[in-house]
Amino acid sequence: MPKPTPTTNIENVVASVVFNQSFDLDEIAATMPNVEFDPERFPGLVYRLKSPKTATLVFNTGKMVCTGAKSEKEARRAVHKIVKLVNEAGINMSRKPIITVQNIVASANLGAELNLELAAMRLENTLYEPEQFPGLIYRMRDPKVVILLFGSGKLVITGAKFEPQIQEAAEKAFDRLLELNVVRIPEGEDWGQADSDEDDDW
């Protein structure tokens, strides 16, 4: 049976936005619905959209941080929607924001259990302290992401800048874990994992 492909799902895209102008947050807060602004507690204004469901921090310096999008496309759509709504309300906001994805967080499932103790010994660039955190932290160099591995075969991937890096990271991690014989293949299946009797009891 061929080795299955890990399933991945983007949970959050964080994008930074730069405009070539400053903003009057008091004016935006007084004019726009769905905003939260309490400068005594936090210097930024929070602009929430229902579609796409996002929360965007807006600062008077002309910078924004958009969070909650499920794709890069959604993040860009949220920013452009805010620009459109603010302009339609009579507040001038540049229509040419510079949008940069800073971090993509995704979940993944390998469909097989992992021996994290063995993985901690055999896998490079890892940190595993089960008394403090149940997952193993794996710093992958290419693509440059951080992967949290759990014994259930579930993963959390953070630090990606581009969406294709998520699937690439999951597949590379799965291949490396299989190579190191730290994956428990479900009974009755054979993915071509190398034979190893030393770990049969885990």
Give pLDDT, residue 198: 52
Asked if pLDDT for residue 170 goes beyond 60, the answer is yes
CATH fold match for the domains 20-96 and 104-184: yes
pTM: 0.89
Asked if pLDDT for residue 193 goes beyond 70, the answer is no
Domain 20-96: assigned CATH number? 3.30.310.10
Phi, psi of 54 (to 5 degrees): -145, 165
* Window from 1-5, 40-44, 119-123, 129-133 with minimum mean pLDDT: 1-5
- Structural domain spans, the chain: 20-96, 104-184
CA–CA dist 33, 81 (Å, integer): 13
Give the class (CATH, top level) of 104-184. alpha beta
Give pLDDT, residue 171: 96
CB 111 within 8 A of CB 143: no
